[in-house]
């Protein structure tokens, strides 16, 4: 078994100075602004991964999941984690954000299914020292839940919005953080927890419209966006439509007390079959075996 718990390791200031990508990544272009912008604040490539400048892949925070994905997740990706509420996707979602922070990539947490204070407690279960990133200003929250249930926001690092009448309120709240991070960092990660309330309240057409605008803005800054969607709540046609705007999907299921995941999309992977994993609130380990051949 490979343990994949995220740890703070070294100081933020030190990690921000380590190059995230090789020199080839810094060639000037409209989508890649070159070494000057990329050199402001950088995160390095995942340790031990052979993914090079050509693929521009970054770690999931789980070593064997990186192996399954043939080196990690490509930048500018929209990823859907799809499964039931207790399938382990919440832990993986949190680990993906923390893995980016550890490597110097800012994180944005949008929550509309629980308070941002609840999310902070979940992050702390994985990495007790994660608050250093909040204090450094590279972990931000967009809380789209607290106001809708008439609670008072107590998270000093959160922007509180009320999207109960219009999902565009979430996009407006995100835009300010997008602009701030996009000017300073080569890429950042966004945790969207969850798409389920948006889809249930506004329907598939408005949700897709929101996603198209949201992802266009995010990918312009090389962002990696991870969405949560709960199984058993939506129509199959809605799930299919959501998957079509994603670059990859990680599905979760439980059978006879055992947990499995499989990947769809992501380009080349090691397997498209179900692979066993184990999880807790603080750990996520891929324990099943898979062949080392690449499958497109």
32-41 contacts, C-beta under 8 A, 24 or more apart: 32/222, 37/183, 37/186, 38/186, 40/184, 40/185, 41/16, 41/104, 41/184, 41/185, 41/186
pLDDT of 41 reads: 44
Q: How far apart are CA 16 and CA 37, in angstroms?
A: 13
Q: Cβ(129)–Cβ(8) under 8 Å?
A: yes
102's tokens: 């550890």
Strands 248-255 and 258-265 turn out to be antiparallel
Does the bond joining 140 to the residue before it have cis omega, within 30 degrees of 0?
no
187's tokens: 């890429």
pLDDT of 19 reads: 31
Nearest to 142 by CA among 121, 107, 184, 170: 170
Q: How far apart are CA 150 and CA 35, in angstroms?
A: 46
Q: Put the strands of the sheet holding 139-143 in their side by side order.
A: 158-160, 139-143, 107-111, 189-193, 224-230, 78-83, 248-255, 258-265, 275-279, 284-286
Nearest to 22 by CA among 31, 35, 13: 35
Residue 140 confidence class, pLDDT cut points 50, 70, 90: very high
Report, as an integer, the average pLDDT of 221-247.
96
Q: How far apart are CA 274 and CA 259, in angstroms?
A: 9
CA angle 135–179–52, rounded 5-degree value? 85
Q: How far apart are CA 58 and CA 257, in angstroms?
A: 31
pLDDT of 1 reads: 44
Nearest to 266 by CA among 68, 1, 69: 69
| CA quadruple 33, 38, 43, 48: dihedral sign | positive
pLDDT of 28 reads: 35
What percent of the chain clears pLDDT 90, i.e. is strictly above it? 63
Indicate the range of 24-28, 32-36, 140-144 predicted with least confidence: 24-28
Q: How far apart are CA 202 and CA 13, in angstroms?
A: 42
Q: How far apart are CA 26 and CA 14, in angstroms?
A: 20
Identify the three-state secondary structure at position 63: helix
pLDDT tens readout for residues 81-139: 999 989 999 999 999 999 999 999 999 999 999 999 999 999 999 999 999 999 999 99
The continuous run of DSSP H or E covering 261 comes out as strand 258-265
Higher pLDDT, 292 or 149: 149
Could you tell me the domains of the chain?
74-260 (3.40.50.300)
pLDDT of 292 reads: 66
Report, as an integer, the average pLDDT of 220-230.
94
Indicate whether 8 pLDDT > 50.
no
pLDDT of 55 reads: 53
| CA quadruple 15, 281, 275, 263: dihedral sign | negative
Q: How far apart are CA 82 and CA 228, in angstroms?
A: 6
Neighbours of 203 (CB within 10 A): 11
Indicate whether 9 pLDDT > 60.
no
CA angle 245–249–252, rounded 5-degree value? 140
Nearest to 184 by CA among 239, 133, 221, 213: 221
């Amino acid at each position: 078994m490979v343990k994949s718990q995220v740890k703070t390791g070294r100081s933020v200031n030190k990690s921000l100075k380590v190059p995230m990508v090789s020199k080839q990544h810094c060639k000037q272009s409209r989508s890649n602004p070159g070494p000057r912008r990329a050199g402001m604040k950088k995160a390095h490539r995942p340790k031990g991964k052979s993914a090079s400048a050509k693929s521009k892949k970054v770690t999931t925070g789980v070593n064997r999941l990186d192996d399954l994905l043939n080196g990690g997740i490509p930048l500018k990706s929209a990823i859907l984690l799809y499964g039931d509420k207790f399938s382990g996707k919440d832990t993986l979602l949190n680990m993906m954000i923390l893995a980016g922070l550890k490597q110097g990539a800012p994180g944005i947490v949008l929550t509309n299914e629980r308070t941002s204070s609840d999310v902070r407690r979940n992050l702390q279960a994985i990495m007790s020292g994660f608050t250093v990133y909040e204090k450094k200003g590279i972990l931000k929250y967009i809380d789209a839940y607290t106001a809708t249930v008439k609670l008072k926001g107590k998270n000093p690092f959160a922007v509180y919005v009320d999207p109960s009448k219009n999902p565009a309120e979430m996009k407006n709240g995100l835009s300010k953080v997008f602009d701030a991070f996009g000017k300073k960092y080569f890429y950042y990660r966004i945790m969207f927890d969850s798409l389920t309330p948006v889809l249930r309240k506004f329907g598939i057409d408005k949700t897709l419209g929101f996603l198209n605008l949201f992802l266009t803005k995010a990918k312009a800054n090389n962002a990696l966006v991870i969405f949560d969607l709960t199984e058993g709540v939506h129509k199959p046609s809605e799930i299919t439509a959501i998957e079509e705007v994603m670059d990859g999907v990680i599905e979760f299921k439980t059978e006879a007390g055992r947990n499995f995941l499989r990947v769809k999309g992501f380009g080349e992977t090691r397997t498209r079959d179900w692979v066993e994993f184990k999880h807790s609130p603080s750990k996520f380990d891929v324990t099943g075996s898979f062949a080392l051949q690449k499958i497109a």
